[in-house]
Amino acid sequence: MRIPRHSHRSTRGALMAAALMLMIVSGIFVSSWVTLMSTRAAQVSYLEDITKRRIGVESSRLLSWQCITDKGFERNGTMAAAQNTVLGSDIGGFNTVNGWNNLNVYTSTSTAGGMTTVFPFNHTGLRPGASYLTVEQLARPSSGVAGNIDDYNAWQFLKTMPPVLNGDVFCVYRKPDSIGTELDIYRNAGSGSAGHNAHWTVEGRTVVRHPPSFFVSSTPSPLQLPFRTKSLYIQSHAAAEPPSIPYPVYGTDMNGNPLMPSNMPVVPSTTGPIGGSGDRRHLGYLKVVRNDDNPDNSLWHFQDREAAAGRTATITIDVSGVFNSATEAYWIAEQKNPTYTPPGWPSGYDDKLKVLFIKLDSAYLKNMRIYGVVDQIIFVGQSNAAAFENAASLKPVIITVMPNGAKGRWVRDVRFERENNRRHVLAFQDDNGRPVEFSWVNNPISGTEFRWRCVLVNEFQSIMFNMPNALTRTVRWIGGVMTNWTVKRRAAGGTNPSRLLFTGDSDPAVPAATNSGPAFATFLPRDAWLESYFLPVAPP
């Protein structure tokens, strides 16, 4: 059968149309693919640029933080204005803007309330409570130096504050170097006059700066601190080291239940340079009783400062001769039959006990440096309610207690007579961790509680609190504790944690009053920390 000619033409046309359609579709696909690849290539190019800019900004942020952490806590540090530090073009850098001259955060008395510029931050910051504040600015170097890095401002808020005035009532720092035994604020050891325990109550925060200081081979892990506290804050770089927590510590709440430590971000803090090799400022050390490497945060040098300003002289007790004066607030006696017999008497003592009396409500009281030439100190408190209330308005004093030479004789016994409402700092510094007994004598002004207002600073001394003999009587230590060594309670006083209370200076148990002279905060050691606010600047 013969196929008509027009049928051949129809088939050929269909094939040509199909081929044309295929060519068009293929062209569209190829064109789309080329366009897509071109777009993708442009996107990758932009992403590469964005990544480089992001890396540059992040590098700048970290470099700014490193600079201020290193240079901002130096004593009398100086950075020239408008100086550039760069890692490389497009990599990161900063400009010092106005710079700083003789910067010393430990002497700053500026507060957020006195600032004339509003910054985007909560003035109480990462720690509750007000603080002294120093503000420095770092910014992006010029584009010719920095390359393609986004503009930014790195605001550096350098803060300082005595921790005991901001609710950190019981602060435990890193133990001294080369000490193999643990920093003991948790063990129960024996009974009777030689035994000791850790049963007390902290009406505020307990802050631990270096958990490894608690741990030796016999330390239970996890470690529970048995004394009761409102909150526990682990402020240490070693607090959590992924993938495990090598030194786990938890506490005991006010009802006797397990208390987990705060999970707030750790803010590195420092009491300043402490000497020795390397930078050890942010490792949790306490060196504030006498620190020649940082005299602006040293109690010994605070005493010199007050004397130089003509406000309060300093008395040095470096001889034990009998002394008495109607115009001084202290006297020295030798007692063959001690008024208050120290533990172990007379073993280890001379035939007469050398006793230093200090009258805390005297207007003549001066700052004091006491060496181990005396065996016992008796702090004489107020005798009635009116004197107790008036004592809060007296100017603060600083009392430092040290051995008589390297590993020499030390003050072994301290008695607190009646009650005291005068603000003062009592600072112990030893070279061998030897014990000092704290005891309360005579009677409270009223009621059954001995109220004693004082900030205790302890460097490598073993402080042992002895409860009053009458089981109904308690001790309220008002002001707080900063320690890098043992603070314990003698087992003879039982285990009731309510018999020994540690509270802050604002405790309503004492009449509210502002002391005369400089603010009490200027008599106390400070912690310093950095809060950095990195703000990219939006393009115009």
Type and span of the H or E element at 304 = helix 299-308
Give mean pLDDT, residues 4-27: 67
Query: How confident is residue 143, by pLDDT bands cut at 50, 70 and 90?
Result: confident
- 316 and 335 Cβ atoms separated by less than 8 Å: no
* β-strand partners of 201: 228, 501
Using alpha carbons, select from 428, 420, 424, 429 the residue that is nearest to residue 449: 420
- CA 481 – CA 225 distance, rounded (Å): 16
The single-letter DSSP state of residue 26 is: H
Q: How far apart are CA 453 and CA 476, in angstroms?
A: 8
- Tens-place pLDDT, residues 107-138: 998 887 766 665 655 555 667 778 898 999 99
The rounded percent of the chain whose pLDDT value lies above 90 is 65
DSSP alpha helices (H): ranges in 193-298? none
DSSP H stretches of helix in 72-149: 143-146
Give 49-69 as a 3 state SS string: HHHHHHHHHHHHHHHHHHHHH
3-state secondary structure of 305: helix
Token pair listed for 213 = 């200081």
Q: Which pLDDT band holds residue 540 (cuts at 50, 70, 90)?
A: low
Contact (CB, 8 A) for 164 and 425: no
Give the integer Cα–Cα distance in Å for 269 and 69.
10
Instruction: Quote the CA–CA distance of 449 and 419 in Å, as a whole number.
Output: 9
CA dihedral 292, 296, 302, 304 (to 10 degrees): 60
Given this model, what pLDDT does residue 54 score?
Answer: 81
In this prediction, residue 277 carries a pLDDT of 82
pTM: 0.88
170-195 pLDDT per residue, tens:
999 999 998 999 999 999 998 888 89
CA angle 144, 145, 150 (to 5 degrees): 80
Residue with tokens 């008024």: 339
Contacts 24+ apart (CB under 8 A), 43-52: 49/148, 52/90, 52/148
State the pLDDT at residue 240: 47
Question: Burial of 236 by CB count in 10 Å (0-12 exposed, 13-18 middle, 19+ buried)?
Answer: buried
User: Where is pLDDT greater, at 27 or 384?
Assistant: 384
Q: pLDDT by residue (tens digit) across 248-282?
A: 999 999 999 999 998 666 678 899 999 888 888 88
**Contact status, residue 415 vs residue 382, Cβ threshold 8 Å:** no
